[in-house]
Amino acid sequence: MDSQIKEFYKNKTIFLTGGSGFLGRVVIEKVLRATDASRIYVMIRSKCGISSQDRIDEWKNDSLFGELLKIKPQALERVVPISGDCEEPDLGISAEDRKLLKNEVQVVIHCAATVNFGEPLHKALNINTRATQLMLQLAKEMSRLEGFVHVSTAFSNCVIKHISERFYPDNLVLDADKVLKMQRFCGNTVLDGMASTLMGKFPNTYTFTKALAEQIIQTESGDLPVCIFRPGPIAGTSKEPLSGWIDNLYGPIGVIYGAAAGVLRIAPINDKALNHIVPVDHCANIILASVMQTAKESSEHRQISTPPTIYNYVAHESNALTNKNFNDIILKHRYTCPLEQTVWYPFLHTTSFHWLFKIIAIFYHIIPGYAIDLVLQLRGEKPRMIKLYKKVHKAMDVLSYFSTKFLTFETTNTDRLWESLSTADKEQFDFSMKQLDWNDYLQRTLVGMRVHIAHEDPSEQSIERARERVKRYVCNL
């Protein structure tokens, strides 16, 4: 049977936000490589004096696009920049470009977001919430629109323990419209000063503003063909377009890197809690599948007003991954793909209590850090470990809310979407979390992290040097 997803995207025009981000680039690469979409308009701003088009042209040297450009050398010509910025009024899109989008776009993929947990409320609100509202308003004027997917997060409702595929407006102290009005009337400084009150039980501005964005979708999408995608922490690729590709240290990847480098030795993690990490290429595939399904359902129920479908996407309950399993697999491979730049023998102890983490960190991190810095100073080198540990501990403070909490998710809609796909689509657009081999995936993640983040030589000679380095640390213990 032919691919229904590929057929759906044939000759389609797509508008994607967040195209310069981790997930956005993977979605773009997949569309260009696996479908015959005619054009992808990408909202992207000029940055550091580099124009929108030049930023896209830089992808020609990005390893992510290497395989694509081998088989389709002109593929990036189908990507057209739309100058814009989620923080600007009307998204910073010119009248001419807005007219273009309204007349041509059939699919909207809204990936843009700030994932900085410590972002000031006004900035997170502009990018994560207000921009979503503006995207909906723009979509309502798109005469050819068939499907719109809003990329949220599995943690948009993290204030409850079990998260179903539905909306949770009662989690909010004030609804999204009132918070946005407060920003307009009170200003950014006053709004930021009220952040803790407005957020209520939400642990940070990221999860709070993503929850507000979901409510915007619930209340303002009307009869638009919209769905919501809620992924867990997004990590490196599983298989496509190359195994283990990763370009950031967000969430669990930062923990892996810190432990592999011998820097992170104690972390606030509940071993019994579930780890919800998901591969980025799987996320791209389910995004493309969910848009197709949304278009199909909208066409079938055109006269019936139905709420947007929500797709939770985390490790499947039949193939669950606990934090202990996660850590055990990572440590098991400390000799498989070690880092040459490791500073100590890789190990990681965990505790469910944040206060205990703080105490143990004094002995595992701070004291050794001062000792290493002293040696560096005696050598005439610049001390760096204490500065590094301040950053590490700040990151642990942010992550501990999620790494120590036991959250569970319903994935009925996601499971139903997977089962509805043809055999060809399951092969070409795989996103099943039931069959994912965690040991194999995390090993490939380590290899990818070594190459793409640590920028170490992938040769066997380099790996052997790293093994010898780790063994020397063992002898010194």
The answer on pLDDT for 162 being more than 70 is: yes
The answer on pLDDT for 350 being more than 90 is: yes
The answer on pLDDT for 64 being more than 80 is: yes
Read off the pLDDT of each residue in 162-179 and give the average, rounded to a whole number. Answer: 94
The answer on pLDDT for 429 being more than 90 is: yes
416 vs 340 pLDDT, higher one: 416
Which pLDDT score is estimated for 301? Answer: 64
Candidate from 33-42, 218-227, 251-260 with smallest mean pLDDT:
251-260
Domain formed by 4-245+276-320+407-440, architecture: 3-Layer(aba) Sandwich (3.40)
What is the Cα–Cα distance from 283 to 155, expressed in whole angstroms? 15
* pLDDT tens digits for range 250-271: 878 888 888 888 889 999 999 9
Read off the pLDDT of each residue in 334-339 and give the average, rounded to a whole number. Answer: 82
The answer on pLDDT for 477 being more than 70 is: no
What is the Cα–Cα distance from 302 to 288, expressed in whole angstroms? 21
What is the Cα–Cα distance from 399 to 249, expressed in whole angstroms? 12
Dihedral sign computed on CA atoms, order 442, 239, 128, 92 = positive
Asked whether the beta carbons of 428 and 33 are under 8 A apart, the reply is no
The answer on pLDDT for 303 being more than 70 is: no
Confidence class for position 288, pLDDT limits 50, 70, 90: very high
Which pLDDT score is estimated for 304? Answer: 58
Confidence class for position 50, pLDDT limits 50, 70, 90: confident
Which pLDDT score is estimated for 103? Answer: 96
The answer on pLDDT for 475 being more than 90 is: no
Domain-wise residue ranges, the chain: 4-245+276-320+407-440, 323-404+445-476
Confidence class for position 302, pLDDT limits 50, 70, 90: low
Which pLDDT score is estimated for 72? Answer: 94
The answer on pLDDT for 474 being more than 80 is: no
Q: How far is CA 473 from the centre of its chain?
A: 34
- How far apart, in Å, are the Cα atoms of 297 and each of 221, 300, 307, 308, 382? 15, 5, 11, 10, 61
Confidence class for position 12, pLDDT limits 50, 70, 90: very high
The answer on pLDDT for 299 being more than 80 is: no
The answer on pLDDT for 141 being more than 80 is: yes
Read off the pLDDT of each residue in 144-164 and give the average, rounded to a whole number. Answer: 96
Confidence class for position 338, pLDDT limits 50, 70, 90: confident
Confidence class for position 305, pLDDT limits 50, 70, 90: low
Read off the pLDDT of each residue in 427-455 and give the average, rounded to a whole number. Answer: 92
Confidence class for position 390, pLDDT limits 50, 70, 90: very high
Q: Please report, rounded to a whole number, the percentage of residues in the chain having pLDDT higher than 90.
A: 71
Q: How far is CA 292 from the centre of its chain?
A: 21
The answer on pLDDT for 169 being more than 90 is: yes
What is the Cα–Cα distance from 427 to 412, expressed in whole angstroms? 21
Q: Please report, rounded to a whole number, the percentage of residues in the chain having pLDDT higher than 70.
A: 97
Which pLDDT score is estimated for 250? Answer: 82
* pLDDT tens digits for range 317-330: 999 999 999 989 98
The answer on pLDDT for 476 being more than 60 is: no
The answer on pLDDT for 300 being more than 80 is: no
Which pLDDT score is estimated for 1? Answer: 59
180 vs 250 pLDDT, higher one: 180
- Mapping DSSP onto H, E and C, the string for the chain reads CCCHHHHHHCCCEEEEECCCCHHHHHHHHHHHHHCCCCEEEEEECCECCECHHHHHHHHHHCHHHHHHHHHCCCHHHHEEEEECCCCCHHHHCCHHHHHHHHHHCCEEEECCCCCCCCCCHHHHHHHHHHHHHHHHHHHCCCCCCCEEEEECCCCCCCCCCEECCCCCHHHCCCCHHHHHHHHHHHCHHHHHHCHHHHHCCCCCHHHHHHHHHHHHHHHHCCCCCEEEEEECCEECCCCCCCCCCCCCCCCHHHHHHHHHCCCCCEEECCCCCECCCEEHHHHHHHHHHHHHHHHHHHHHCCCCCCCCEEEEECCCHHHCCEHHHHHHHHHHCCCCCCCCCCCCCCCCEEECCHHHHHHHHHHHHHHHHHHHHHHHHHCCCCCCHHHHHHHHHHHHHHHHHHHCCCCEECCHHHHHHHHHCCHHHHHHCCCCCCCCCHHHHHHHHHHHHHHHCCCCCCCHHHHHHHHHHHHHHHHHC
Confidence class for position 335, pLDDT limits 50, 70, 90: confident
Which pLDDT score is estimated for 343? Answer: 81
Which pLDDT score is estimated for 9? Answer: 96
The answer on pLDDT for 79 being more than 70 is: yes
* pLDDT tens digits for range 14-25: 999 999 899 999
